[in-house]
Amino acid sequence: MAMAQWFLLLCIFFISASASNVQTKVTDNPADELVAVLNSNRTGNKLSSLYSNPGLACLALQYIKAYQGECSAVGGPDAKKPAESEFAETFAPDCDVKASSLAQITGRFLACQSKYAEPSEAFNDILIRNSKSLDILNSKNHTEVGAAVSGSDGGGPYFWCVLFSNGKPKSSFVTEGGEPKVTRPGCFSGANDQCNGANTLSRTIHLWPIALGSLVALLYAL
């Protein structure tokens, strides 16, 4: 009987640890992953890796929010884009970014579609669409980058935004409190955030029902 109890405790510990590990692996910030794919592509072409600026990335998320979920306003004949003045007047205050630290935006990617795509797929199939996209990606004018990903109303459409700047890393897009304000829904790069609280991007796999079922089965066996 004692041996069975020890076996039960070991099984509970193993299942709990497995659940924790799987949750950690699948809740990584997709915006960080997008920046990693982008920088890997640049270094593969013998270009410098860009500094991941969280303040700039927060502005990218606010840029997405300005579209209010209107996918039709991204590209095509009905394409729109926020006024440049909104960076200083709206986006920066919403992120706690000091307006005096804003630097030039040297390029941007913006895309939207109904289905969610993994970062590598979003980069290769959605954001990089033509030679103009490649020119923006491979520009030597960029020094830093910020990316954001967000859905709408608990699901699609999904937006991806990447902003490039020629600002001085750690001196541009500086925040009031040291870190940009995290807002939901959506994720932005450099936020030290797994983004598992974002309803529209939650990909967490919960194994607790499995653990509970296994526990019940073991107790029944005892």
Look at residues 175, 97, 174, 183 and name the one whose alpha carbon lies nearest to residue 148: 183
Mean pLDDT of the 106-122 span? 94
pLDDT at 154: 62
Query: Are 202 and 196 contacting, i.e. CB atoms less than 8 angstroms apart?
Result: yes
Mean pLDDT of the 80-99 span? 94
Query: Are 112 and 149 contacting, i.e. CB atoms less than 8 angstroms apart?
Result: no
Q: What angle do CA 161, 93, 38 make, to 5 degrees?
A: 25
Mean pLDDT of the 165-182 span? 88
SS (H, E, C) 7-20: HHHHHHHHHHHHHH
Mean pLDDT of the 168-195 span? 84
Helix H or strand E segment including 23: helix 2-26
Residue 58 token pair: 């927060």
Higher pLDDT, 52 or 12: 52
Q: Which residues pair with 51 in a beta bridge?
A: 144
Task: Return d(Cα 147, Cα 102) in angstroms, integer.
Answer: 16
User: What are the extents of the domains in the chain?
Assistant: 47-195
Q: Which residue has the tokens 């296994």?
A: 214
Q: Tally the C-alpha atoms within 13 A of residue 181's C-alpha that lie toward its C-beta.
A: 13
pLDDT at 195: 72
Task: Return d(Cα 192, Cα 184) in angstroms, integer.
Answer: 15
**163 pLDDT above the threshold of 90:** yes
Label residue 112 by pLDDT band (50, 70, 90).
very high
Task: Return d(Cα 17, Cα 61) in angstroms, integer.
Answer: 33
Higher pLDDT, 34 or 221: 34
Cis peptide before 185 (omega within 30 of 0): yes
pLDDT at 13: 44
pLDDT at 5: 52
pLDDT at 3: 52
pLDDT at 137: 97
Per the rule left: phi > 0, alpha: psi between -120 and 50, beta: everything else, 83 is beta
Helical pair 208-221 and 2-26, crossing angle rounded to 10 deg = 170
- Residue 157 is given by DSSP the state E
Mean pLDDT of the 89-109 span? 95
Mean pLDDT of the 68-72 span? 90
Phi/psi for 161 (5° steps) reads -135, 135
pLDDT in tens, 13-53: 443 443 333 322 334 799 999 999 999 999 999 999 999 99
For 47-195, the fitting CATH number among 3.30.390, 3.40.33, 1.10.150, 3.30.160 is 3.40.33
